[in-house]
């Protein structure tokens, strides 16, 4: 489940949950990032305070998804709330997640769960013709197994939709 070497993003190279996003935090250190690297403690808070609510929502929704997917992991790590997961572990060294700024390799399957955020990103990558729609919000890219989901925003990926997404991931 190793992320390819040419990948730019935040998180673990051994991520079992790889989230592909079309944009980056609008800060110099992320705009020029050309590799995958773990986040440091407090970095999510720094991005959110420096860039506004948009990135706070992305990290919040990501943490909610991980909390829904792995409640046993949270218990083992002594974490009670998704907010604590976000602040203490999300996208940090030793984690199982990555937020990836480079497009996924859609020509082959991967062992990791790969999520592509937003219909617009799928269209920009030329993947829409190969999507199998699971419902009105989620689709699977047949050749690669990549799961298309709504953008990580409360309005687009509500708590109810996060639960549906978890069901699709678990298969």
pLDDT along the chain (171 residues), means of 10: 82 96 96 96 95 94 96 85 94 95 91 96 95 97 95 95 97 87
Contact between 1 and 84 (Cβ < 8 Å): no
What pLDDT does 73 receive? 80
Q: Where are the beta strands (DSSP E) in 5-135?
A: 9-11, 17-20, 36-37, 97-100, 113-117, 131-133
Q: How far apart are the first and last CA of the chain?
A: 18
pLDDT for res 32:
94
Beta-ladder partners of 19? 99, 115
Q: What is the pLDDT of residue 171?
A: 87
Domain ranges of the chain: 9-170
Per-residue confidence (pLDDT) for residue 6, from 0 to 100: 84
Q: What is the pLDDT of residue 88?
A: 92
Residue (of 58, 134, 145, 129) closest to 97 by Cα position: 58
149: enclosing H helix or E strand? strand 147-149
Question: Rounded to whole angstroms, how far apart are CA atoms 28 and 58?
Answer: 19
Q: Give the predicted TM-score (pTM) of the model.
A: 0.95
Buried b / exposed e over 101-134, threshold 16 CB at 10 Å, is: bbebebeeebebbbbbbbbebbeebebeeebeeb
pLDDT of the residue at 4: 72
pLDDT of the residue at 3: 77
β-bridge pairing 147-149 and 139-141: antiparallel
pLDDT on residue 58: 97
């Amino acid at each position: 489940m190793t992320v390819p070497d040419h990948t730019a993003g935040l998180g673990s190279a051994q991520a079992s949950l790889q989230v592909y996003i079309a944009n980056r935090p609008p800060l110099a250190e992320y705009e020029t990032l050309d590799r995958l690297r773990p986040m440091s403690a407090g970095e999510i808070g720094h991005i959110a305070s420096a860039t506004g609510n948009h990135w706070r929502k992305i990290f919040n929704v990501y943490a909610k998804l991980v909390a829904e997917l792995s409640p046993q992991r949270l218990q083992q790590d002594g974490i009670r709330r998704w907010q604590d997961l976000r602040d203490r572990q999300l996208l940090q060294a030793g984690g199982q997640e990555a937020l990836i700024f480079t497009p996924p390799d859609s020509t082959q399957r991967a062992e990791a769960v790969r999520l592509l955020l937003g219909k617009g990103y799928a269209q920009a990558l030329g993947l829409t013709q190969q999507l199998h729609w699971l419902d009105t919000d989620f689709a699977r890219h047949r050749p690669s197994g990549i799961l298309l989901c709504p953008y990580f925003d409360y309005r687009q990926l509500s708590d109810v939709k996060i639960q549906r997404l978890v069901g699709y991931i678990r298969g």
